[in-house]
Structure 1
Amino acid sequence: MTTGNASELRRISVFDATLRDGEQAPGNAMSAQRKVALALAAEAYGADVVEAGFPGSSAEDAEATRLIAQNLTTARFATFNRASISDVRKSMLAGGAHPRHQVQICGTGSDLHLRHKRGITREESVAEVRDAIRLAVELGATDVSFGVEDASRGALDHIKALVSTAVECGAGTVILADTTGCATPHEYGTLCAAVRSWLPDEVILSTHCHDDMGLSLANALAGIEAGADQIQATLGGIGERAGNTPLEELAAVLAYKSEQYGATTDIRLERLYPAHELLAEAIALPPYRNKAVVGVNSFATEAGIHQDGMLKNPLNYEFLDPHRFGRERSLLVGRHSGRAVLRYLLTRIGVDDDDGRVDELYEELVANTPVGFCEDLEDLAKRLDDRFPAARADA
């Protein structure tokens, strides 16, 4: 694991796959206009590349790509393609020979997929990658990336043949997909280290990790340790099945643990939550309770022991600063709260916090609170403020 000061940190590029891999999961379909709004939000929070969609899949995705290409001003945009002449032509028609258009071509990385999905040989898969990349370059693409699908279950010699061919034909980025989320961090890191050793320094190595075993973020971080230069991620981790590397969690780790990983990003943390709210509205995504960074309870607590510690110093139980992420700290009073929060409230409104008064309020507002009911600290403060005007005047 690398360490170092800020001047030694590697800058990790962030590829936002929310609008393609994230959008293609059940229930996540978006209109072209919604995609443009989210693409602009991604550009605003600092995504280096925004995946516009898969133009070969539908007219709607082609239209979204055209609109995103017209509206983004600093971020690059990417189109997804199979190693298919037809896909590449449709992507180039939608995105154009634009200097910020990354044409992403996906090849078949595992024998399992070759045999049971594609019905082609290794040699045929290499040939179709060669043809697709050459066509993209002939049509004016200046930024071509090559993704190895199911790389985590692929044989190294086949992956090397695919990658070598892609780079020789003009690919400037190589993406290793843990398509089924089957890899452990050690396995995925080992794969990334092997591929990194084959690539010229100027070729970018990118990760694309799925969360089927809850390891997408851990695998992406293992990729960084093994030399990856870019991470593909989605807001809220949305994506196929259990989803993808959560972009906001990656940004949090590299903001707080940058020296540990020797790496950082340019993501603007405070803009992630508003963007996630925009996404949730676009796809009717229910609120998460326990999701890191964007969850309802990410910066909220009801437990008395925790509240006592946080009232003394939030650092006692809060590693991430909510304000860095555009969030607010929330103390909720309910069945699990204690007397400390009541003493704090009484003191704050200038009321004597003697034990008898605190015990009385504890029985009323905590011990006998209905199961599942919580009241925001500020709302309770107003109620108590209205309740004790005489006592406050006496004090």
Structure 2
Amino acid sequence: MNAVPAVRRISIFDTTLRDGEQAPGNAMSTADKLELALRLEALGVDCVEAGFPASSPNDFEATRAISQALTRIPFATLCRAVRSDVATAVEAGGAANHVIQIMGTGSDVHLEHKRGITRKEAIAELVDTAIFAKSLGVEVLGLGIEDATRGDPQFLQALTESAVEAGADYIPVADTSGCMTPNEFGDLIGQIRTWAPAPVRIGLHCHNDFGLALANSVAGLEAGADDVQVTLGGIGERAGNTALEELCALIAYKGHKLGLSTGVDLTGMYSVYNRLREVIRLEEPRTKAIFGRYAFGTAAGIHQHGMLRNPETYEYVEPAQFGRDRSLLISRHSGRAVLRYLLEQIDVHPDEEQLAELYRIHIAERVDGDCEDMSVVQARLAAELSPAYSGASA
């Protein structure tokens, strides 16, 4: 008999306002970022990344505003391994309640083609910047590893152990190019965990280039990581980041098996996501997990037949858990079962021959390739077949 794992509370580090904004089309004003930061805090995330203060006046001002407004959780900023970046971040948000993330270079590809420095120089600059940050009174020092998933293990070990010796409280590990599979990433995190034992915390920053950000994040958590860097709706560079809602949904349903839990309010996420969509003018996706327009909707007759009897037949994830409603949509793929259901709701009880004719008239030949909301079809049926019916939707 398999033992049930002890449940540990993981930390949710939200980078919607930093990595999420870096993607094309996702610009946010300082006021937008402040509003979203407060909404994210209310959801129960454990840290909000305000931005990269040295990169722009907007990020500087957003960091200042967010650092002054949050009341229950810390905020974070991103810095290069440069003293001036750290000084700017501390100027923007102070040292208290501030997670400074200094980005170390983890792969030879980046060292040679982006930075033009050696491995030894990369370690030296990370350690120097860490010491400088500590001298400014930074409370939580994060020394991250960019492009760790393409790094040589020997170099990653040296970089990690140097970060620990320099006083790192937190080591975020980035799958910057989204290149790993869950087994590979889990193995990497397990190895880094041996080089950076507790109480140093390990974070995960996964990109979704192969659609594996969520799977990789779970593999990393199972290998001993402490937190996951996420974004609402999975927005972010290229194909995006690990999606907050997908991770929290999975842990809500599978946490007892994974031995994981979060403190995020599941029902409030969708409204915050819709506000984010308004801010960045993001079109509503149709099929995205949890947040897609039709994530909890179906137009297939065989599915509708089962769901009308018991939603559990085709619905493992419950929409109400996430502030959503299920929808049964009428299309040419809908069957007679849903039509009979609609008619019964308006006290119309046809025989089989009449039902077939009503199906032909009101669904098969009337509903085009798209679909209609069930309430619209029901109102039309009521108006035509049940004059006494008020016409109100069910």
The interval holding the TM-score normalised by the smaller chain is over 0.9
The structural deviation recorded for 1:391 is 8.2
Q: Which residue does the alignment assign to 1:154?
A: 151
Q: Which of 118, 121, 127 is 1:121 aligned to?
A: 118
Q: 2:41 aligns with which of 29, 40, 43?
A: 43
Mapping of 1:37-116 within 5 angstroms?
A: 37-98=35-96, 100-116=97-113
Whether contact under 8 Å (1:13, 1:231) holds in the other structure is yes
1:272 is matched with which residue: 269, 272, 277? 269
Preserved contact between residue 235 and residue 247 of structure 1 (Cα < 8 Å)? yes
Aligned residues of 1:333 and 1:374 also touching (Cα < 8 A): yes
Contact (CA 8 Å) 1:351, 1:392: kept in 2 or not? no
User: Counterpart of 1:23 in structure 2: which amino acid?
Assistant: E
Quick one: which amino acid aligns to residue 54 of structure 2?
A: G
Change (3 A) 1:132 1:384: same
Task: Return the alpha-carbon distance in structure 2 between the equivalents of residues 388 and 229 of structure 1.
Answer: 60
Q: Which residue of 1 aligns with 2:286?
A: 289
3-state SS in 1 of match to 2:18: helix
Matched-pair contact (CA < 8 Å) for 1:3–1:259: no
What is the TM-score with the length of structure 2 in the denominator?
0.96
In structure 2, how many angstroms separate the alpha carbons of the residues matched to 1:355 and 1:41? 53
| Deviation (angstroms), 1:379 | 2.1
**Alignment-mate amino acid for residue 50 of structure 2:** A
The 5 A counterparts of 1:243-392 are 243-389=240-386
1:194 has 2:206 as partner = no
Alignment of 1:29-40 (within 5 A): 29-40=27-38
Residues 347, 353 of structure 1: 8 Å contact kept: no
- Rounded Cα–Cα distance in structure 2 between residues aligned with 1:178 and 1:369: 50
Amino acid at match of 1:206: G
Tell me which amino acid in the other structure corresponds to 2:120: E
Q: How big is the shift at 1:112? A: 1.1
* TM-fit CA distance, 1:343: 0.4
What per-residue deviation string (whole Å, max 9, x for no partner) do you get for residues 255-298 of structure 1?
00012211111111001100110110010000100100000010
Does residue 140 (structure 1) correspond to residue 144 (structure 2)? The answer is no
Whether the aligned pair in 1 keeps the contact of 2:383 and 2:389 (CA below 8 Å) is no
TM-score with structure 1 setting the length: 0.96
Matched, 1:204 2:201: yes
Counterpart pick for 2:179 among 178, 182, 186: 182
What letter corresponds to residue 139 of structure 1 in structure 2? L
Give the Cα separation in 1 of the matches to 2:232 and 2:348: 45
- What RMSD in Å do the two structures reach over aligned CA positions? 1.5
1:18 aligns to what SS in structure 2? coil
Q: Deviations over 1:96-136 (max 9, x none)?
A: 022x2100110000011111110001110001101111111
Q: Which moved more, 1:247-256 or 1:346-355?
A: 346-355
Count of residue pairs the alignment pairs up: 389
User: Secondary structure, in 3 states, of the residue corresponding to 1:340?
Assistant: helix
Which residue does 2:8 correspond to in 1?
Answer: 10
C-alpha displacement of 1:387? 2.2
Report the Cα distance in structure 2 between the residues aligned to 1:221 and 1:65, rounded to whole angstroms.
Answer: 29
Q: Is the contact made by 1:3 and 1:262 (CA closer than 8 Å) also made in structure 2?
A: no
Tell me how far apart the structure 2 counterparts of residues 339 and 379 of structure 1 sit (CA, whole Å): 17
| Residue identity matched to 1:26 | P
CA distance in 2: counterparts of 1:9 and 1:373, whole angstroms: 45
Percentage of matched positions with identical amino acids: 53
**Structure 2: distance between partners of 1:39 and 1:338:** 45
Q: Distance in 2 between matches of 1:372 and 1:268?
A: 37
In structure 2, relative to structure 1, the CA distance for the partners of 1:349 and 1:60 (3 Å cut) is same
**1:367 shift after superposition:** 1.1
Contact persistence 1:335–1:370 (CA under 8 A): yes
Tell me, yes or no, if structure 1 residue 231 matches structure 2 residue 222: no
Q: Which amino acid aligns with 1:53?
A: G
Shift in Å, 1:3: 5.8
Tell me, yes or no, if the aligned pair for 2:54 and 2:88 is still in contact at 8 Å: yes
